[in-house]
Amino acid sequence: MKWLIALAVTVFAVFALAYVHGRAMRRAYMWGARTSVSAACQEYLHTGIAPIASDPWRIHVFTNSVKIDGTAYSCALATDETAFSGAGVLAITTNQVCIWFDKTGSAKIIDTSYWPPLFPSRF
């Protein structure tokens, strides 16, 4: 009987660790994309030349405008990084504000304190 309890606890621990690891990986993907798009935006604003699209970041010009919490934002560049798997794009404004546009059309600001939702559909 004790071995059955130990087995159940072990299986639960493995699944819990796998879930926590997946959430940390989503945060790392977002951090990497945010860092890359920020550096590309600084270069774009300095030189006026759009970065060359290359995997995995695929940064491109993105001129959408959005209003979040009453503040208007105009985007400059975006990435649809391969880890996002079509879930949305991460855009950056000319004043270095990162905005996540998910595939449903909603937008939210992604800052340094970002953590993926506990039970996300993706990001």
Beta-bridged to residue 61, according to DSSP, are 77
Structure-block tokens of residue 3? 């071995």
Across 9-13, 19-23, 67-71, 115-119, least confident range: 115-119
Nearest to 26 by CA among 102, 80, 84, 79: 84
> Could you report the per-residue pLDDT of 15-48, keeping only the tens digit for each?
888 887 877 888 888 888 888 888 888 988 898 8
DSSP three-state, residue 89? strand
Give domain limits for the chain: 2-110
Beta-bridged to residue 91, according to DSSP, are 78, 99
CB atoms within 10 A of CB 95: 10
φ, ψ dihedrals at 60, nearest 5°: -145, 165
Beta-bridged to residue 74, according to DSSP, are 65
| Statement: residue 115 has pLDDT above 80 | no
Q: Tokens 């208007």 label which residue?
A: 72
User: What DSSP line would sit under 70-88, residue for residue?
Assistant: TEEEEEEEEE--GGGTTSE
> Could you report the per-residue pLDDT of 41-83, keeping only the tens digit for each?
898 889 888 877 665 678 888 888 999 999 999 999 998 876 7
